[in-house]
Structures are given as structure tokens and as C-alpha cells.
Amino acid sequence: MNTRMSSLFFVRRLFPAMVLLAAAFFPTHACAGDREDVRAVDLRRIRALIHADRAELEAVLADDLTYGHGDGRMQTKPDLLAALTSGVVTYQSYDGPPPSVRIHDQVALLTGVAELEATARGTRVKLWLRYLAVYVKRDGAWRLTAYQSSRLDQPPEGLR
């Protein structure tokens, strides 16, 4: 299996299964307000993506971030920050209903759908996504540690 096929297999099959399996072993225990807090951090992340706000992204992204795109590409935190701050990728919009939030101890799983418009290397695209965002609470702050999206062919239920 070549590296790209191996990477796509991991992203599409093994990664989501591993996250769900790991979540099953964490007891469900959330402090009051954690759901609202993690949703607020996710909104900060989305605004920071749209504005290419490096300082805000540094604050909400974990150093060990893995960011999986709908086309199978994986980025680390430095890769994502470099692409955004150099202008190689720009986000014009990122919209959708509030995600579902499940909290297991210090891990929050956000699942949802989104519609976004972005420009990558001069090509503007409109995408519909289903995504999983994994936040971990460290030192009292929620940080995105893993993100994986899948492209959808048409707007899903819940989007315009």
C-alpha cells in the first residue's frame, strides 16, 4: 500500500474508530458549563480561521494537533498555521448549526455539519462537510487536538 493510500485508509477508517473507542473508555463527567465553554472555543477557532489570526489559533490549537481535510490531506499545527498566515489558504466563510457536544472527562467530541467557502492556491471552492473535532482540556483550557472532515456532495440536513 503506498503512503497516500495508507494515509487515506487511516483518515477514513481507523482514525474515527479509534476516537470512538477511546471515548468509550472515558467516563462521562462534565463540569457545569463545559459544553458552552468548548462551543465558545470552537467559535473562536472558526473566527480565527476566517481572519487568519495566528495568535488566536496558537491559543486554541493543541501543539500535537492533527488536522484532517476532506480530501485526505493531514496537517500539523505548524503546517496549518503556515498555510493560513501565508495566504496559501484563506477561509471566506464557515457556517453551520451548533455542533453536538459530548464530554468524557477532559475530552470533548464535537460532531456537526458545515458549509464553507475557501480559496486554496487561487481557486475558490464552496464545500459542505461533516466533521469531528476533538478538544482536550489541558491546564484549564480547551484546545483542538484532532479535526477530521468528510466532503458531502450536497448540503446536508440542517444547512440552507
Nearest to 74 by CA among 150, 126, 152, 147: 147
Whether residue 82 is predicted with pLDDT greater than 90 in this model: the reply is yes
Query: Is pLDDT larger for residue 55 or for residue 155?
Result: 55
Residue 97 is given by DSSP the state: S
* DSSP 8-state code for residue 49: H
pLDDT of residue 24: 45
Q: Please, which pLDDT band fits residue 17 given cuts at 50, 70 and 90?
A: low
**pLDDT at site 27:** 43
**Averaged pLDDT, 120-148:** 95
Q: Is the dihedral of CA 99, 124, 93, 46 positive or negative?
A: positive
Mean predicted confidence (pLDDT) in 70-90 = 92
Confidence at 5, pLDDT banded by 50, 70, 90: low
Q: What's the pLDDT at 159?
A: 73
pLDDT at res. 157:
78
Partners of 125 in the β-ladder: 118
CB atoms within 10 A of CB 8: 17
Distance CA 95, CA 72 (A): 21
